[in-house]
């Protein structure tokens, strides 16, 4: 199976999009940082169900990494990624370098309020500014009808939706269900950092969050339930818990029992930070 075509400049991307538009085709975008896995392939599947052509961007975005984070170590494996895109039948890979996305003199940054407050921002204060800026650029560059983002990065999904509403960007944002391994661990490019003993611990994250969500749905006290989940993560072997929180699904404001909710968490195993979230069951 042949690999998708590859373009690495905005001009070439727009030229291809223009050709498709002349043919009346509907276009989907799947933004990624590469190191693709089955979770990414599930996004492409949804994209091709919703559009005639699928563009997958592969760009490790430096503006969303703090100086102390893993930008230099983040897995980069373009040849393997392109093979996976061939399997998924993506039509085009957009693989810009940093100078293409942030040319000399670049001086603009987008800051999104609302759902960006708290959770990740408490620990990565510049993260969502970097995400919002690069996502806005990608949406303007590719001008898709629809873009697909995974629910594993749930706060990011909410931020992107807010971005598009506030800036009147004419694209439909679709949240795709989290893809998990056979043990329930959410698929992530950073899972490659985990050795076998850490993987066994990591697979407890989803179970502990589901237990907390079920307790909340059954009427348990929120403060006690969240504290129990944090203690359970430490008991399971996580070194540090950044947060476990219950939030409303749409706004990410503190959860109330009469609203749709999510339990979100971030915790550390060695030098690897894992995030996950689960829905609070409804009757």
For each of the chain's 283 residues, which pLDDT tens digit applies?
788 999 999 999 999 999 999 999 999 999 999 999 999 999 999 999 999 999 999 999 999 999 989 899 899 999 999 999 999 999 999 999 999 999 999 999 999 999 999 999 999 999 999 999 999 999 999 999 999 999 999 999 999 999 999 999 999 999 999 999 999 999 999 999 999 999 999 999 999 999 999 999 999 999 999 999 999 999 999 999 999 999 999 999 999 999 999 999 999 999 999 999 999 998 6
Q: What stretches of the chain adopt beta strand conformation (E)? A: 5-7, 27-32, 53-58, 92-94, 146-150, 172-176, 240-248, 261-269, 272-279
Q: What does the pLDDT read at residue 3? A: 87
Longest alpha-carbon distance in the chain:
58
Q: What does the pLDDT read at residue 2? A: 81
Domain at 84, CATH number: 3.40.50.620
Q: What does the pLDDT read at residue 243? A: 98
Domain at 264, CATH number: 3.30.1300.10
246 and 148, same domain (yes or no): no
Does residue 262 lie in a domain region? yes
Residue numbers in the known binding site for beta-alanine are: 64
3-state SS, residue 34: coil
Measured at the CA of 256, the angle between CA 254 and CA 260, to 5 degrees, comes to 95
Q: What does the pLDDT read at residue 56? A: 98
Does residue 184 lie in a domain region? no
Last residue within a domain, chosen from 149, 176, 203: 176
**Residue range of the domain that includes 206:** 189-278
142 and 66, same domain (yes or no): yes
196 and 267, same domain (yes or no): yes
Number of domains, the chain: 2
C-alpha span between 193 and 187 (Å, rounded): 12
74 and 97, same domain (yes or no): yes
Q: What does the pLDDT read at residue 282? A: 86
Residue 276 exposed, middle or buried by CB count within 10 Å (0-12, 13-18, 19+): buried
Q: What does the pLDDT read at residue 70? A: 87
162 and 34, same domain (yes or no): yes
Does residue 70 lie in a domain region? yes
Task: For residue 40, indicate whether it is catalytic.
Answer: yes
218 and 270, same domain (yes or no): yes
131 and 251, same domain (yes or no): no
159 and 268, same domain (yes or no): no
Q: What does the pLDDT read at residue 283? A: 65
59 and 160, same domain (yes or no): yes
229 and 144, same domain (yes or no): no
Q: What does the pLDDT read at residue 205? A: 98
Does residue 182 lie in a domain region? no
Residue 236 exposed, middle or buried by CB count within 10 Å (0-12, 13-18, 19+): middle
19 and 64, same domain (yes or no): yes
Task: Select which of 40, 183, 195, 257 is catalytic.
Answer: 40
CA dihedral 263, 264, 269, 273 (to 10 degrees): 170
Last residue within a domain, chosen from 108, 142, 176: 176
DSSP 64: G
3-state SS, residue 27: strand
Q: What does the pLDDT read at residue 102? A: 98
Does residue 183 lie in a domain region? no
Does residue 236 lie in a domain region? yes
Residue numbers in the known binding site are: 33-40, 64, 150-153, 156, 179, 187-190
138 and 14, same domain (yes or no): yes
C-alpha span between 207 and 233 (Å, rounded): 10
């Amino acid at each position: 199976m042949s690999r998708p075509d590859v373009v690495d400049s905005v001009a070439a991307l727009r030229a291809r999009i223009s050709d498709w538009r002349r043919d009346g085709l509907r276009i989907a975008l799947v933004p990624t940082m590469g190191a693709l896995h089955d979770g990414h392939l599930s996004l492409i599947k949804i994209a091709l169900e919703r559009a005639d052509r699928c563009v997958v961007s592969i760009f490790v975005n430096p503006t969303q990494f703090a100086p102390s984070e893993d930008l230099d170590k983040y897995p980069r494996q373009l040849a393997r990624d392109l093979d996976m895109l061939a399997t998924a039948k993506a039509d085009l890979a957009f693989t810009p370098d940093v100078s293409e996305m942030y040319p000399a003199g670049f001086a603009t940054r987008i800051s999104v309020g609302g759902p960006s407050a708290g959770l990740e921002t408490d620990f990565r204060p510049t993260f969502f500014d970097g995400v919002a800026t690069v996502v806005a650029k990608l949406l303007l560059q590719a001008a898709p009808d629809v873009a697909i983002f995974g629910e594993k990065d749930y706060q990011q999904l909410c931020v992107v939706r807010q971005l598009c509403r506030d800036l009147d960007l004419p694209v439909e944002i679709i949240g795709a269900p989290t893809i998990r391994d056979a043990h329930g661990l959410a698929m992530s490019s950073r899972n490659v950092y985990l050795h076998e003993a850490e993987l066994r611990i990591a697979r407890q994250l989803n179970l502990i969050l589901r237990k907390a969500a079920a307790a909340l749905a059954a009427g348990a006290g929120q403060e006690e339930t969240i504290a129990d989940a944090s203690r359970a993560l430490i008991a399971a072997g996580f070194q540090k818990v950044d947060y476990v929180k219950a939030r409303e699904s749409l706004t990410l404001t503190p959860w109330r029992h009469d609203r749709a909710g999510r339990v979100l968490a971030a915790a550390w195993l060695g030098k690897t930070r894992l995030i996950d979230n689960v829905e609070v069951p409804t009757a």
